[in-house]
Structure 1
Amino acid sequence: MASQDRLTELFARTDVTGSALRRSSPLLRIDGLSVSYGPQQVVSDVGFELGRGKSLALIGESGSGKSTIARAVLRLLATGGRANGRVEFDGQEVLGLSERRFRPLRGRAIGFVPQDPGNSLNPVRTIGAQAMEAAALVDEPNKAIRKALILETFAQVGLDNPQRVYDSYPHQLSGGMLQRVLIGLAVLPRPLLLVADEPTSALDVTIQKRILDLLSKLQHELDISLLLITHDLAIAAERADSLVVLKDGIVQEAGSTTAVFSAPASAYARKLHADVPALNPDRYRKLRDPAFRLLGTKTDKAPKIEVSGVTKTFTVDGKVLTAVNDVSFAVQAGTTHALVGESGSGKTTAIRLLLGLEQPDIGNIAVAGEQLNGRSPESLRAVWRHLQLVYQNPFTSLDPTWKVEQLVREPLDQFKIGTREERSARVREALANVGLGEHLLLRKPEALSGGQRQRVAIARSLVLKPDVIVLDEPTSALDVSVQADIVEVLLSLQARLGLTYVFVSHDLALVRQLAHTVSVMQRGRIVEHGSVTDIFGNPQQPYTRSLLESIPSGAAGIARAPHPQPRRIFNEEKIA
């Protein structure tokens, strides 16, 4: 059994020099960093400094070079990548070191928290077996003591039952727990620098807040410097002392969080600021208004969607689990109704019931006056023409072997609608409705950006000219700027075509921008229901308040540094 004294000794960081000079010098200094893959240069002349115990955020859209810079620091560039310039870590130039000399730094002195815990852990090995590999970086030969270190670190990162986590396989843990595991493994050797690459992009808003709080707590308790990579300016402003804004591998703006966040000077930083839902709740007010006016003039009509007293249970390992419990809500034609809540709240089961993909145990579901429950798939086909779904992830929802024209046309082929020429015309009309040109018809999904893929998915749902579209987290896999474009497309289509949306999301800031009414779900039940204005302005339930309090606002960044430091604004004309 490991002694507490030994554990304390291993957890204590020793400052080798302890000199004031060393503490005052930057832990990480990057100067003139450029990265290329063959003839293509993806990062150009990047420079910044990160102080000891400080935090810096690299922000920008996909393709801006954020992760490439981090991987250059970690010496983990993909095959063919070449980095030039100067990278100093703890006073030592590391870019020119051989892999043999740099390897002892990676993991021990520079920790890494990757973006997707689902793809970062081996699914056929226990968490404990993988944690032991990280513990091998600690200078301790005794296996029992290494396991004690792992369990203590798991407790430190907020995992309630460390031994159960240690014995579990990845699929037995939630996304939030897996992300805590990765953070625990990264901080186990007590690194000087922690690189966190979009560590919360796939998590619920409340879990996101807990993970970010955890990173901030560990940073201060362990005196770790944090290099945070994110596309969300509000998150960066809350969590970082300084910001570096990137676009196409070029720094657009850099400086203290206060200066960049409160008064962004570059056009690109201003666009990022405008695209963050939490910072601009009324951005789409004018686009939403037509649906409100439509609602106001047709109050005598029955709702487009009625879900009444629906309950659904499943039997798992001999236990009966209630996924949806006495759920009721109604959606007026031409409006957007949001279902919100954490993972496991019942949102996905509710929409599967609405789509007829599952049958409720009790209760009724009606769309445009037609009852859906109790009907066979064959009899539901006519309803499905008018009730379509846009999936969460455009990278997996589209067949990678098909061209855009085939993907959008397939629903017409399935329902045998029109002649070949008429179907082609409908495909082009649907693409035009989402702002895509005919030049994309012959491209496959791999040749499209994330935003273009999701527009194709929306066009595919529109081609049958449905009345109701279910949107299952349609922007969660996209950058905030691309997300803003998709939201504008959806609201424009709704205002013009009178579409009715059911919007499923864990992003409450986006719900506030997009929806008219909202139902808050917790453990299969609706705990609060009403207009977005009422729910967001005056929540009645503690659970709703906790969700709303988790929305990043950037306010912490403004409060952090009352005296803005000088920043560098880059020549945009030269960049262009």
Structure 2
Amino acid sequence: MAPQDRLTAHFASVESNASKPQRVGPLLRADGLSISYGPQQVVSNVSFELGRGKSLALIGESGSGKSTIARAVLRLLPSGGRATGRVEFNGQDVLALPERQFRPLRGRAIGFVPQDPGNSLNPVRTIGSQAMEAAALLDEPHAAIRKAIILDTFAQVGLDNPQRVYDSYPHQLSGGMLQRVLIGLAVLPRPALLVADEPTSALDVTIQKRILDLLSRLQHELDISLLLITHDLAIAAERADSLVVLKEGTVQEAGKTTSVFSSPASAYAKKLHADVPALNPDRYAALRDPGFRLLNAAGTAPKIEVSAVTKAFTVDGKVLTAVNDVSFTVPSGTTHALVGESGSGKTTTIRLLLGLEMPDTGNISVAGEQLTGRSHGSLRAVWRHLQLVYQNPFTSLDPTWNVGQLVREPLDRFKIGTPRERVEWVREALANVGLGEHLISRKPGALSGGQRQRVAIARSLVLKPDVIVLDEPTSALDVSVQADIVEVLLSLQAKLGLTYVFVSHDLALVRQLAHTVSVMQRGRIVEHGTVGDIFDNPQHPYTASLLESIPSGIAGDARVSRLQPRRMISREKIA
């Protein structure tokens, strides 16, 4: 059989199988599912149904059991994990199947999109070689046809140059492209069920929207059922037909999206609804009022002044201008946000502000102190009053030190106070972020994600700085923990008069937290103003596109209107 005929036969088989009469009843059904690790039960008596071609979202905080349930469906529980009850796929109890009988279903009939594409692909192998492994599930012996199917699938998931992607290594692609690759590999065998575990948690808001649109489109085109794992109620409400709300391994609420979203019955679902920034933009209005009063007061001196700053780097012999003629000011006691997609220049701008890089042109001053052109030694005096809270609390804290040592280290390095005074200041800093003294002797591994980030904030506060730079400080946290951290930051600002520079790709969170905003695109500020002006009346098309990408929580046919018809491969694709 010629390669062209094999290719045609493959797609004819796909279409033929899709048109066969299907079983009645749900595609996936969990009944009394409980999961334990040794003596500890982490999921208790969970039941739900997912119809054919429908979508269901499991939502809840970290530790609620969402991903554990997904692993049970995929039969990928780690060693020591045990699932009881029933999980029926297409009428068959998969928990009762021997592994050798279930293995043919995993990948072929049940696809999986993991959370982190950076850790899910082998960094020393090309995308094509890894895609060929997924294509082995097609039972297609001809390599040319397998490659053509891969390239077409890459095109179908929105990768503009499938051959370049095929030839690339993971580090040569962006996070959004890598996530599209993983989705492409998952849908390659045309599974009946796709399990997506937090597929957009690390992505910019515009890329997040594209990935979610892609999943909705593929679900519609290929009649795939979607099991979506997420902590974001707005995303779940916008993308799923039904919801299951989980807390500590038990179902708090379940039902149609419209009813659970619009009228949550359980206290936990109500809290999740209240914690989603996109749904509650004015939640912290009272805490932000002092900053707005300072912003509008006549004669308020700026705490930060960035004037006509430009920074270029040479990469592979080419000059890349990362920051291009950037200017903004931040009044004392207010929060200024830098927003934009990855590569927009946000991180380089804050590195310049912190004195970690020097601008090629322009000037930066903090509290009247000029940063430009100063030596590393002379910048130490500035750094005492200019602190940074890193993005990821899991990697920014030394795992071998306890909380007391971590928070005290800046005092030790700057040789501030007596040993007795340092102990007292550590306790004061921990109290300011809502942490008790009983945590002082604990190491980061014994803390939750929210507690770790509070420690990182306490560490930045212990020097009593005037300015704190917050680099995506909540991106690794659940929405409920994020809400707690935002409240801590705004309470501290109102109490201590702190000035914040807040870097984020989460525009809904920016609206809750910031007073002024600069929108960055390709190293330039394309729009600048107060939060109300930017969000209510954007003037630049790029700003408008960012705002349109914020999950609205609107479910139903609105998302289907964006779907495009499926494109088939032509024979001419194989020469």
Q: TM-score, normalised by structure 2?
A: 0.95
Q: Summarize deviations over 1:104-131 as a string: whole Å, max 9, x none.
A: 0000000000000000001111101110
Alpha-carbon distance change, 256 to 5 in structure 1, aligned in 2, over 3 angstroms? farther
- In the aligned structure 2, how far is the partner of 1:43 from the partner of 1:269? 18
Contact 2:282–2:512 (8 Å) recurs in 1:
yes
Alpha-carbon distance change, 158 to 68 in structure 1, aligned in 2, over 3 angstroms? same
- Aligned residue identity for 1:19: P
- In the aligned structure 2, how far is the partner of 1:295 from the partner of 1:272? 32
Tell me which stretches of 4 or more aligned residues in structure 1 moved more than 4 Å. 1-5, 557-561
- In the aligned structure 1, how far is the partner of 2:396 from the partner of 2:202? 17
Alpha-carbon distance change, 108 to 88 in structure 1, aligned in 2, over 3 angstroms? same
Contact 1:311–1:362 (8 Å) recurs in 2:
yes
- 1:395-410 equivalence runs, <5 A: 395-410=394-409
Alpha-carbon distance change, 17 to 312 in structure 1, aligned in 2, over 3 angstroms? closer
- Aligned residue identity for 2:483: A
Counterpart for residue 371 of structure 1: 370
- Aligned residue identity for 1:311: T
Once the two structures are TM-superposed, the CA of residue 296 in structure 1 deviates from its matched residue by 3.5
Indicate the SS of the match to 1:394.
Answer: coil
- Aligned residue identity for 2:241: D
- In the aligned structure 2, how far is the partner of 1:86 from the partner of 1:5? 42
- Aligned residue identity for 1:15: N
Contact 2:107–2:191 (8 Å) recurs in 1:
yes
- Aligned residue identity for 1:223: D
- Aligned residue identity for 1:18: K
- In the aligned structure 2, how far is the partner of 1:302 from the partner of 1:369? 10
Indicate the SS of the match to 2:333.
Answer: coil
- 1:92-241 equivalence runs, <5 A: 92-241=92-241
Counterpart for residue 569 of structure 1: none
Q: Summarize deviations over 1:414-461 as a string: whole Å, max 9, x none.
A: 000011110000000000000000000000000000000000000000
Indicate the SS of the match to 2:481.
Answer: helix
- In the aligned structure 2, how far is the partner of 1:492 from the partner of 1:40? 38
Is the aligned partner of 1:540 residue 2:539? yes
Counterpart for residue 31 of structure 1: 31
- In the aligned structure 2, how far is the partner of 1:131 from the partner of 1:16? 23
- 1:455-474 equivalence runs, <5 A: 455-474=454-473
Alpha-carbon distance change, 48 to 8 in structure 1, aligned in 2, over 3 angstroms? farther
- Aligned residue identity for 2:32: G
- In the aligned structure 2, how far is the partner of 1:373 from the partner of 1:164? 41
Contact 2:258–2:555 (8 Å) recurs in 1:
no
Q: Which runs of 5 or more structure 2 residues have no equivalent in the other structure?
A: 561-575
Contact 1:303–1:368 (8 Å) recurs in 2:
yes
- Aligned residue identity for 1:249: G
Once the two structures are TM-superposed, the CA of residue 295 in structure 1 deviates from its matched residue by 3.3
Contact 1:58–1:246 (8 Å) recurs in 2:
yes
Counterpart for residue 488 of structure 1: 487
Contact 1:430–1:459 (8 Å) recurs in 2:
yes
- In the aligned structure 2, how far is the partner of 1:323 from the partner of 1:17? 52
Once the two structures are TM-superposed, the CA of residue 558 in structure 1 deviates from its matched residue by 9.0
Alpha-carbon distance change, 13 to 139 in structure 1, aligned in 2, over 3 angstroms? farther
Contact 1:2–1:148 (8 Å) recurs in 2:
no
Alpha-carbon distance change, 418 to 369 in structure 1, aligned in 2, over 3 angstroms? same
Aligned CA RMSD, in angstroms, stands at: 1.4
Contact 1:308–1:364 (8 Å) recurs in 2:
yes
Q: Summarize deviations over 1:351-388 as a string: whole Å, max 9, x none.
A: 00000000000000000011101111100000000000
- In the aligned structure 1, how far is the partner of 2:550 from the partner of 2:556? 14
- In the aligned structure 1, how far is the partner of 2:548 from the partner of 2:284? 22
After the TM superposition, which of the residue ranges 477-486 and 7-16 deviates more from structure 2? 7-16
- In the aligned structure 1, how far is the partner of 2:231 from the partner of 2:270? 13
Indicate the SS of the match to 2:96.
Answer: coil
- 1:2-401 equivalence runs, <5 A: 3=3, 6-11=6-11, 12-15=14-17, 18-19=20-21, 22=23, 24-297=24-297, 299-401=298-400
- In the aligned structure 1, how far is the partner of 2:389 from the partner of 2:19? 58
Once the two structures are TM-superposed, the CA of residue 10 in structure 1 deviates from its matched residue by 2.1
Contact 1:311–1:363 (8 Å) recurs in 2:
yes
Contact 2:28–2:89 (8 Å) recurs in 1:
yes
Indicate the SS of the match to 2:332.
Answer: coil
- In the aligned structure 2, how far is the partner of 1:89 from the partner of 1:462? 52
Q: Summarize deviations over 1:333-356 as a string: whole Å, max 9, x none.
A: 000000000000000000000000
Once the two structures are TM-superposed, the CA of residue 14 in structure 1 deviates from its matched residue by 3.9
Is the aligned partner of 1:479 residue 2:494? no
- In the aligned structure 1, how far is the partner of 2:399 from the partner of 2:512? 32
- In the aligned structure 1, how far is the partner of 2:553 from the partner of 2:199? 17
Indicate the SS of the match to 1:95.
Answer: helix
Contact 2:257–2:555 (8 Å) recurs in 1:
no
Contact 2:61–2:231 (8 Å) recurs in 1:
yes
- In the aligned structure 1, how far is the partner of 2:9 from the partner of 2:370? 67
- In the aligned structure 2, how far is the partner of 1:558 from the partner of 1:335? 41
Q: Summarize deviations over 1:376-405 as a string: whole Å, max 9, x none.
A: 110000000000000000000000111000
Alpha-carbon distance change, 158 to 5 in structure 1, aligned in 2, over 3 angstroms? farther
Counterpart for residue 571 of structure 2: none
- 1:416-431 equivalence runs, <5 A: 416-431=415-430
- In the aligned structure 2, how far is the partner of 1:2 from the partner of 1:520? 54
Indicate the SS of the match to 2:322.
Answer: strand
Counterpart for residue 564 of structure 1: none
- In the aligned structure 2, how far is the partner of 1:72 from the partner of 1:44? 13
- Aligned residue identity for 2:334: T
Contact 2:393–2:456 (8 Å) recurs in 1:
yes
Counterpart for residue 509 of structure 2: 510
Indicate the SS of the match to 2:395.
Answer: helix
- In the aligned structure 2, how far is the partner of 1:127 from the partner of 1:79? 29
Contact 1:65–1:247 (8 Å) recurs in 2:
yes
Indicate the SS of the match to 2:265.
Answer: coil
- In the aligned structure 2, how far is the partner of 1:138 from the partner of 1:372? 60
Q: Which runs of 5 or more structure 1 residues have no equivalent in the other structure?
A: 562-576
- In the aligned structure 1, how far is the partner of 2:2 from the partner of 2:287? 63
Q: Summarize deviations over 1:482-537 as a string: whole Å, max 9, x none.
A: 00000000000000000000000000000000000000000000000000000000
- In the aligned structure 2, how far is the partner of 1:214 from the partner of 1:200? 12
Alpha-carbon distance change, 2 to 466 in structure 1, aligned in 2, over 3 angstroms? farther
- In the aligned structure 2, how far is the partner of 1:321 from the partner of 1:385? 32
- Aligned residue identity for 1:353: L
Indicate the SS of the match to 1:244.
Answer: strand
Q: Summarize deviations over 1:202-256 as a string: whole Å, max 9, x none.
A: 0000000000000000001001000000000000001000000000000000000
Indicate the SS of the match to 1:286.
Answer: helix
Contact 1:13–1:190 (8 Å) recurs in 2:
no
- In the aligned structure 2, how far is the partner of 1:362 from the partner of 1:505? 25
Q: Summarize deviations over 1:82-101 as a string: whole Å, max 9, x none.
A: 00000110111110111111
- In the aligned structure 1, how far is the partner of 2:176 from the partner of 2:366? 35
Indicate the SS of the match to 1:264.
Answer: coil
- Aligned residue identity for 1:118: G
Contact 2:153–2:188 (8 Å) recurs in 1:
yes
Indicate the SS of the match to 1:509.
Answer: helix
